[in-house]
Structure 1
């Protein structure tokens, strides 16, 4: 009887998969917007092509590091703030993607109090 009671507290698999997909899509949107900001910023401030800006933004966002050297003060400031922003975005998206999985795991591992 306790097993049935515990199973009712856990979200059904179909709904859980929908939740994971929703969180993944939100994270993907956040990454795409961050890449767009980085691409345009590197293109405008760093005076490099859009593809090189995208390349720089992608590598910064994943923590690999910059490719092109920034020569102007504005470009260096943008690159610095974008690197800080990217670190926060990367950690946030990982947290958002794994949140429903961790939540479900905590529900599964929950041991109800004995009465």
Structure 2
């Protein structure tokens, strides 16, 4: 019976070629990993290569960097939407554009442009300010993670040779 692509005769033959770093590297090259093509869902979950794997191409690195940057932008947009919604819920006399401006100012650390009048609005912005500080640190880590990983991975490759 013919085998389909990616199918093995038994589980032992599936793992036998991957027991050495050379076998793992050959398997990754065969699957197109080094070209920046994600072969299957497990590649998405294991986004970074281990120290036994070769350095990915510069194009694949740029794709990874763009993916992380897109995630950071999405996180910032969601954070601003949370701030806008909270400001409009807790302060009824504000327009959406003023709520956007206020949320952006608080997210940047400048402080509120329009101070809420009610106690609930002030409490919301206190917690929103702390939340945006956490989002800032998370975003910074998200954007810098691929760069730090590539530098450390290259360093480990050079020390092994």
Q: So what's the TM-score if we normalise by structure 1?
A: 0.86
Cα distance in 2 for partners of 1:96, 1:39 equals 24
SS of equivalent to 1:9: coil
Unaligned ranges ≥5, structure 1: 1-7
Paired residues, number: 108
User: Which 4+ residue blocks in structure 1 deviate beyond 3 angstroms?
Assistant: none
2:99 is matched with 53
Shift, 1:24, TM fit: 0.7
Shift, 1:27, TM fit: 0.8
- Between the two structures, name the one with larger relative contact order (CA 8 Å, sep ≥ 6): 1
Q: Which structure has the bigger radius of gyration?
A: 2
SS of equivalent to 2:159: coil
1:85 is matched with 131
Shift, 1:109, TM fit: 2.4
SS of equivalent to 2:142: helix
- RMSD of Structure 2 on Structure 1 (CA): 1.7
Matched, 1:112 2:159: yes
Unaligned ranges ≥5, structure 2: 1-52
Shift, 1:46, TM fit: 2.4
2:19 is matched with none
Q: So what's the TM-score if we normalise by structure 2?
A: 0.62
Cα distance in 2 for partners of 1:113, 1:91 equals 33
